[in-house]
A = this chain, B = another copy of it.
Protein backbone atom coordinates (compact mmCIF):
# COMPACT_ATOMS: atom_id res chain seq x y z
CA UNK A 1 0.00 0.00 0.00
CA UNK A 2 2.71 2.45 1.01
CA UNK A 3 4.73 1.35 -1.99
CA UNK A 4 1.84 1.94 -4.39
CA UNK A 5 1.31 5.42 -2.95
CA UNK A 6 5.02 6.23 -3.28
CA UNK A 7 4.87 5.61 -7.04
CA UNK A 8 2.26 8.33 -7.52
CA UNK A 9 3.38 11.66 -8.96
CA UNK A 10 4.15 14.87 -7.10
CA UNK A 11 1.50 17.46 -7.96
CA UNK A 12 2.33 21.10 -8.63
CA UNK A 13 -0.45 23.69 -8.87
CA UNK A 14 -0.31 27.27 -10.13
CA UNK A 15 -2.84 29.67 -11.58
CA UNK A 16 -0.91 30.02 -14.84
CA UNK A 17 2.25 28.73 -16.46
CA UNK A 18 4.90 30.43 -14.32
CA UNK A 19 4.75 27.62 -11.73
CA UNK A 20 6.47 25.41 -14.31
CA UNK A 21 9.67 26.90 -12.87
CA UNK A 22 8.72 25.24 -9.58
CA UNK A 23 8.17 21.94 -11.40
CA UNK A 24 11.62 22.38 -12.96
CA UNK A 25 13.27 23.08 -9.60
CA UNK A 26 11.60 20.02 -7.99
CA UNK A 27 12.54 17.79 -10.92
CA UNK A 28 16.15 18.95 -10.70
CA UNK A 29 16.25 17.99 -7.03
CA UNK A 30 14.19 14.77 -7.37
CA UNK A 31 14.87 13.56 -10.93
CA UNK A 32 13.30 10.11 -10.47
CA UNK A 33 9.91 11.44 -9.36
CA UNK A 34 7.00 11.75 -11.76
CA UNK A 35 5.49 15.24 -11.57
CA UNK A 36 2.09 16.39 -12.82
CA UNK A 37 1.43 20.10 -13.19
CA UNK A 38 -2.03 21.68 -13.10
CA UNK A 39 -2.23 25.25 -14.42
CA UNK A 40 -5.58 27.10 -14.19
CA UNK A 41 -4.81 29.05 -17.36
CA UNK A 42 -8.52 29.63 -18.04
CA UNK A 43 -8.77 31.85 -14.96
CA UNK A 44 -5.29 33.28 -14.37
CA UNK A 45 -4.53 35.74 -12.76
CA UNK A 46 -5.76 34.87 -9.26
CA UNK A 47 -4.03 37.84 -7.63
CA UNK A 48 -6.66 40.40 -8.61
CA UNK A 49 -9.70 38.32 -7.50
CA UNK A 50 -11.57 38.39 -4.22
CA UNK A 51 -10.62 35.84 -1.54
CA UNK A 52 -13.98 34.07 -1.97
CA UNK A 53 -13.44 33.60 -5.69
CA UNK A 54 -9.95 32.20 -5.10
CA UNK A 55 -11.47 29.74 -2.60
CA UNK A 56 -14.06 28.73 -5.22
CA UNK A 57 -11.28 28.14 -7.76
CA UNK A 58 -9.34 26.09 -5.19
CA UNK A 59 -12.34 23.77 -4.75
CA UNK A 60 -12.74 23.42 -8.51
CA UNK A 61 -9.07 22.55 -8.94
CA UNK A 62 -9.16 20.07 -6.05
CA UNK A 63 -11.54 17.89 -8.08
CA UNK A 64 -9.02 17.62 -10.90
CA UNK A 65 -6.09 17.08 -8.53
CA UNK A 66 -7.86 14.19 -6.77
CA UNK A 67 -8.08 12.33 -10.09
CA UNK A 68 -4.32 12.44 -10.59
CA UNK A 69 -3.45 10.10 -7.71
CA UNK A 70 -0.70 12.42 -6.55
CA UNK A 71 1.12 11.68 -3.31
CA UNK A 72 1.84 15.27 -2.32
CA UNK A 73 0.76 18.67 -3.67
CA UNK A 74 2.93 21.76 -3.96
CA UNK A 75 0.80 24.92 -4.26
CA UNK A 76 3.19 27.15 -6.22
CA UNK A 77 0.56 29.88 -6.46
CA UNK A 78 1.26 32.41 -3.70
CA UNK A 79 -2.24 33.91 -3.91
CA UNK A 80 -3.96 30.57 -3.39
CA UNK A 81 -1.46 29.73 -0.64
CA UNK A 82 -2.28 33.04 1.05
CA UNK A 83 -6.08 32.80 1.09
CA UNK A 84 -7.28 29.28 0.25
CA UNK A 85 -4.70 26.72 1.39
CA UNK A 86 -6.95 25.40 4.18
CA UNK A 87 -9.91 25.16 1.82
CA UNK A 88 -7.82 23.18 -0.68
CA UNK A 89 -6.12 20.95 1.91
CA UNK A 90 -9.51 20.20 3.48
CA UNK A 91 -10.66 18.52 0.27
CA UNK A 92 -7.52 16.47 -0.36
CA UNK A 93 -6.26 13.35 1.38
CA UNK A 94 -2.54 13.88 0.70
CA UNK A 95 -0.11 16.46 2.15
CA UNK A 96 -0.52 19.97 0.71
CA UNK A 97 2.47 22.35 0.82
CA UNK A 98 1.93 26.09 0.42
CA UNK A 99 4.48 28.59 -0.79
CA UNK A 100 4.22 31.36 1.81
CA UNK A 101 5.86 29.53 4.75
CA UNK A 102 8.81 28.11 2.73
CA UNK A 103 9.50 31.61 1.39
CA UNK A 104 9.29 33.11 4.88
CA UNK A 105 11.65 30.45 6.24
CA UNK A 106 14.17 31.05 3.45
CA UNK A 107 13.98 34.83 3.96
CA UNK A 108 14.64 34.62 7.69
CA UNK A 109 17.63 32.37 7.00
CA UNK A 110 18.99 34.80 4.40
CA UNK A 111 18.47 38.02 6.37
CA UNK A 112 21.00 39.46 8.84
CA UNK A 113 19.27 42.77 9.56
CA UNK A 114 15.80 41.20 9.98
CA UNK A 115 14.46 43.84 7.59
CA UNK A 116 12.66 41.83 4.92
CA UNK A 117 10.77 43.06 1.85
CA UNK A 118 8.04 41.24 -0.08
CA UNK A 119 6.59 41.85 -3.52
CA UNK A 120 3.39 39.94 -4.27
CA UNK A 121 -0.03 40.11 -5.94
CA UNK A 122 -2.65 42.55 -4.64
CA UNK A 123 -4.65 39.73 -3.10
CA UNK A 124 -1.61 38.17 -1.37
CA UNK A 125 -0.72 41.58 0.07
CA UNK A 126 -4.29 42.21 1.28
CA UNK A 127 -4.38 38.79 2.95
CA UNK A 128 -1.54 39.70 5.33
CA UNK A 129 -0.17 36.17 4.88
CA UNK A 130 3.50 37.20 4.58
CA UNK A 131 3.68 39.35 7.73
CA UNK A 132 1.94 36.51 9.62
CA UNK A 133 4.30 33.83 8.28
CA UNK A 134 7.41 35.93 8.90
CA UNK A 135 6.29 36.68 12.46
CA UNK A 136 6.04 32.92 13.06
CA UNK A 137 9.53 32.33 11.64
CA UNK A 138 11.08 35.27 13.49
CA UNK A 139 9.02 37.49 15.80
CA UNK A 140 11.65 40.22 15.50
CA UNK A 141 11.51 40.44 11.70
CA UNK A 142 10.37 43.78 10.27
CA UNK A 143 8.36 43.26 7.10
CA UNK A 144 7.72 45.68 4.23
CA UNK A 145 5.16 44.54 1.70
CA UNK A 146 4.57 45.95 -1.78
CA UNK A 147 1.88 44.83 -4.25
CA UNK A 148 3.41 44.55 -7.74
CA UNK A 149 0.53 43.42 -9.98
CA UNK A 150 1.76 44.76 -13.30
CA UNK A 151 4.94 42.67 -13.12
CA UNK A 152 2.71 39.58 -13.23
CA UNK A 153 1.00 40.84 -16.41
CA UNK A 154 4.36 41.73 -17.98
CA UNK A 155 5.66 38.19 -17.43
CA UNK A 156 2.39 36.63 -18.63
CA UNK A 157 2.83 38.59 -21.85
CA UNK A 158 6.54 37.81 -22.19
CA UNK A 159 7.56 41.46 -21.88
CA UNK A 160 10.77 40.86 -19.91
CA UNK A 161 13.21 43.38 -21.38
CA UNK A 162 13.41 47.08 -22.13
CA UNK A 163 12.21 50.30 -20.59
CA UNK A 164 8.60 49.32 -19.84
CA UNK A 165 9.40 46.50 -17.40
CA UNK A 166 12.48 48.34 -16.11
CA UNK A 167 10.43 51.41 -15.12
CA UNK A 168 7.63 49.28 -13.67
CA UNK A 169 10.15 47.33 -11.57
CA UNK A 170 11.74 50.59 -10.44
CA UNK A 171 8.43 52.12 -9.38
CA UNK A 172 7.48 49.07 -7.30
CA UNK A 173 10.92 48.71 -5.69
CA UNK A 174 11.43 52.39 -4.80
CA UNK A 175 9.40 52.27 -1.53
CA UNK A 176 11.23 49.08 -0.47
CA UNK A 177 14.65 50.60 -1.25
CA UNK A 178 13.89 53.36 1.27
CA UNK A 179 13.37 50.77 4.01
CA UNK A 180 16.93 49.47 3.93
CA UNK A 181 15.88 45.80 3.60
CA UNK A 182 18.57 43.15 3.14
CA UNK A 183 16.31 40.41 1.76
CA UNK A 184 13.44 40.51 -0.76
CA UNK A 185 10.90 37.72 -1.15
CA UNK A 186 9.70 37.32 -4.75
CA UNK A 187 6.17 36.40 -3.68
CA UNK A 188 4.80 35.23 -7.03
CA UNK A 189 6.04 32.54 -9.39
CA UNK A 190 6.23 35.23 -12.08
CA UNK A 191 8.77 37.60 -10.56
CA UNK A 192 11.95 35.47 -10.93
CA UNK A 193 11.58 35.85 -14.72
CA UNK A 194 12.31 39.56 -14.18
CA UNK A 195 15.25 38.80 -11.86
CA UNK A 196 17.93 40.60 -13.95
CA UNK A 197 15.88 43.82 -13.88
CA UNK A 198 14.86 43.44 -10.24
CA UNK A 199 18.49 42.94 -9.18
CA UNK A 200 19.92 45.83 -11.21
CA UNK A 201 17.12 48.30 -10.41
CA UNK A 202 17.25 47.55 -6.71
CA UNK A 203 21.00 48.10 -6.71
CA UNK A 204 20.56 51.35 -8.66
CA UNK A 205 17.90 52.61 -6.23
CA UNK A 206 19.62 51.69 -2.99
CA UNK A 207 23.29 51.37 -3.86
CA UNK A 208 23.18 47.98 -2.10
CA UNK A 209 23.10 44.31 -2.98
CA UNK A 210 20.51 42.24 -1.17
CA UNK A 211 19.43 38.58 -1.03
CA UNK A 212 16.45 37.42 -3.10
CA UNK A 213 14.13 34.55 -2.18
CA UNK A 214 12.96 32.72 -5.30
CA UNK A 215 9.85 30.70 -4.44
CA UNK A 216 10.82 27.92 -6.88
CA UNK A 217 13.94 27.07 -4.87
CA UNK A 218 12.18 27.49 -1.54
CA UNK A 219 9.33 25.21 -2.68
CA UNK A 220 11.77 22.60 -4.01
CA UNK A 221 13.64 22.58 -0.70
CA UNK A 222 10.36 22.14 1.15
CA UNK A 223 9.14 19.25 -1.00
CA UNK A 224 12.50 17.44 -0.69
CA UNK A 225 12.25 17.77 3.09
CA UNK A 226 8.63 16.55 3.15
CA UNK A 227 9.23 13.62 0.78
CA UNK A 228 12.05 12.50 3.07
CA UNK A 229 10.29 13.03 6.39
CA UNK A 230 7.08 11.38 5.20
CA UNK A 231 8.99 8.57 3.44
CA UNK A 232 7.25 9.24 0.15
CA UNK A 233 10.20 8.75 -2.25
CA UNK A 234 9.73 6.58 -5.32
CA UNK A 235 11.56 3.24 -5.45
CA UNK A 236 12.01 3.48 -9.24
CA UNK A 237 15.48 4.17 -10.65
CA UNK A 238 14.52 5.48 -14.11
CA UNK A 239 13.98 9.18 -14.81
CA UNK A 240 10.60 10.56 -13.75
CA UNK A 241 8.05 11.78 -16.29
CA UNK A 242 6.64 15.31 -16.42
CA UNK A 243 3.02 15.92 -17.42
CA UNK A 244 1.14 19.21 -17.81
CA UNK A 245 -2.63 19.70 -17.44
CA UNK A 246 -4.11 23.10 -18.27
CA UNK A 247 -7.63 24.47 -18.00
CA UNK A 248 -7.06 26.44 -21.22
CA UNK A 249 -4.52 25.80 -23.95
CA UNK A 250 -3.05 29.26 -24.60
CA UNK A 251 -2.16 30.67 -28.02
CA UNK A 252 1.45 30.95 -27.15
CA UNK A 253 2.21 27.76 -25.36
CA UNK A 254 5.86 28.09 -26.33
CA UNK A 255 6.06 30.63 -23.50
CA UNK A 256 5.88 27.59 -21.24
CA UNK A 257 9.34 26.55 -22.47
CA UNK A 258 10.73 29.73 -20.97
CA UNK A 259 9.28 28.83 -17.57
CA UNK A 260 10.23 25.16 -17.70
CA UNK A 261 13.68 25.65 -19.19
CA UNK A 262 13.18 22.88 -21.73
CA UNK A 263 11.25 22.34 -24.93
CA UNK A 264 7.64 21.79 -23.86
CA UNK A 265 6.70 20.24 -27.20
CA UNK A 266 8.31 17.02 -25.89
CA UNK A 267 5.91 16.89 -22.95
CA UNK A 268 2.47 15.42 -22.62
CA UNK A 269 0.07 18.36 -22.34
CA UNK A 270 -3.67 17.94 -21.93
CA UNK A 271 -6.59 20.27 -21.41
CA UNK A 272 -9.28 19.85 -18.78
CA UNK A 273 -12.49 21.80 -18.30
CA UNK A 274 -13.13 22.54 -14.62
Interface set of A (CB-CB < 8 Å, partner B): 41-43, 48-50, 52-53, 56, 122-123, 126, 149-150, 153-154, 156-157, 159, 162-164, 167-168, 171, 247-251, 273
Given the complex, which residues of B lie within 8 Å of A123, measured CB to CB? 251
A48 to B164, CA, bound (A): 20
Given the complex, which residues of B lie within 8 Å of A154, measured CB to CB? 150, 153
Given the complex, which residues of B lie within 8 Å of A247, measured CB to CB? 53
B159 near A49: Cβ-Cβ < 8 Å: no
A53 to B246, CA, bound (A): 12
- For the complex of A and B, list the 3 residue pairs with the smallest distance between their C-beta atoms, beginning with the closest: A153-B153, A53-B248, A164-B167
Given the complex, which residues of B lie within 8 Å of A248, measured CB to CB? 49-50, 52-53
Name the distance in Å between A167's Cβ and chain B's nearest Cβ. 5
A248 to B53, CA, bound (A): 7
Given the complex, which residues of B lie within 8 Å of A43, measured CB to CB? 42-43
Name the distance in Å between A269's Cβ and chain B's nearest Cβ. 13
Known interface pairs A43-B43, A164-B171, A171-B164. Does A50 touch B251 (Cβ–Cβ under 8 Å)?
yes
Given the complex, which residues of B lie within 8 Å of A56, measured CB to CB? 273
Q: Which residue of B lies closest to A247 (CB)?
A: B53
A251 near B122: Cβ-Cβ < 8 Å: yes
10 contacts between A and B (CB under 8 A): A41-B49, A48-B250, A53-B248, A122-B251, A149-B157, A150-B153, A150-B159, A163-B167, A164-B164, A167-B167
Most buried by B among A41, A123, A157, A162: A157
A48 interface neighbour in B149, B150, B156, Cβ under 8 Å: B156
A154 to B50, CA, bound (A): 19
A43 to B50, CA, bound (A): 11
Q: Which residue of B lies closest to A252 (CB)?
A: B122
A163 to B251, CA, bound (A): 29
A126 near B251: Cβ-Cβ < 8 Å: yes
A50 interface neighbour in B157, B159, B250, Cβ under 8 Å: B250
Name the distance in Å between A50's Cβ and chain B's nearest Cβ. 5
